[in-house]
Amino acid sequence: MESQENYGRIVELEGKEKRRDESNSKYVGCFLGITLISTGIIISFTGIGALLGIPLILAGIISPFVTKKKDLTNYRVICPTCGFEVLTTKKPGITCKACKKRMVLKGDRYIKID
């Protein structure tokens, strides 16, 4: 059990727990790129399809480089109601898994709203 002053405080995790798999966005970008390139090549074999096929191929080439990288840093939050430790990314509002009470981010702490 944590002391009362640590309730609601956000603590950044260290080591392997710090980040979730952030490379998923790159995998999605590569998959999208392969799909767009393949579709563009197939459409380009038709006569008029080159008008659509070439832009699809170009979009497939640049898609792995423009996929959005999200901030997935994990944080440890002590529930202000029951003291249960909740692992979360920094969200404006979360629900405690133990007491099912809702808490919202205010400044650098989570406060209970129920």
Distance CA 17, CA 8 (A): 19
pLDDT score at 12? 62
Distance CA 101, CA 86 (A): 12
pTM above 0.75, yes or no: no
Tens-of-pLDDT digits for all 114 residues of the chain? 456 666 666 666 555 555 555 556 677 778 888 999 999 999 998 878 888 999 999 999 988 777 666 656 677 888 888 888 888 777 788 888 888 888 888 877 788 886
Name the residue type at position 14: E
pLDDT score at 104? 86
pLDDT score at 79? 85
Task: List all residues 6 or more positions away from 31 whose beta carbon is below 8 Å from its beta carbon.
Answer: none
Which pairs count as long-range contacts for 102-109, CB under 8 Å and 24+ apart, including other chains? 103/8, 103/77, 103/79, 105/10, 108/9, 108/10, 109/8, 109/9, 109/10
